[in-house]
Amino acid sequence: MDTEDSQRVACKLIYLLKRFTDEWLNKQVCCESLADFNHAHLPLFMSIGTTGISNNALAEKLNVTKQATSKVIKELEAINMVRSEKSQADARSVMLFLTSEGEKYYQHVRTQIFHLEEQYKKVVGAKNFEIAIDVMLKLIQFHEQENQKRVTTQ
């Protein structure tokens, strides 16, 4: 593999983009005033959204275990970003909601992400950015289907 080809190794590119994105998140999103909030909380936190979600639906949405979501939820509750309450529709289910502080932070994160996406669009063009998003969604769907195949054959 020559130097030019090594620049296009997908795993390397994914690693670098994740590393740079994590650095950006730590600088732009994870505020000093929220020292106990880290970028690892973001996927779960942002998936709760402004309308709330059940712990089961959240775990399914992120393709992680309920135990993993419960651990992060406890951490987010400890810093007053999320609150949980029994579901009115199903007493066995727990619903997750952002606190008022969580809602403010959610809006801050959305604004920062919007600005980053606008910068990306300036670099690659809006159409290419949308194509990149579509490609990432397809790759995620591929991996989800592969994981589901492994689960059903076990």
The number of residues in the chain equals: 154
Q: CA 117 from chain center: how many Å?
A: 15
What is the CATH number assigned to the segment(s) 3-153? Answer: 1.10.10.10
User: Which strand ranges, in their side-by-side order, compose the sheet holding 53-54?
Assistant: 53-54, 94-98, 82-86
Hey, how many other C-beta atoms are within 10 angstroms of the C-beta on 44? 23
Span 4-17, pLDDT tens digits:
667 789 899 999 99
Segment 51-66 shows an average pLDDT of 89
pTM > 0.85: yes or no: no
pLDDT, averaged across the chain: 87
Parallel, antiparallel, or unpaired: how do β-strands 53-54 and 94-98 relate? antiparallel
**Domain assignments of the chain as residue spans, ordered by start:** 3-153
Beta bridge partners of 86: 94
pLDDT of residue 100: 95
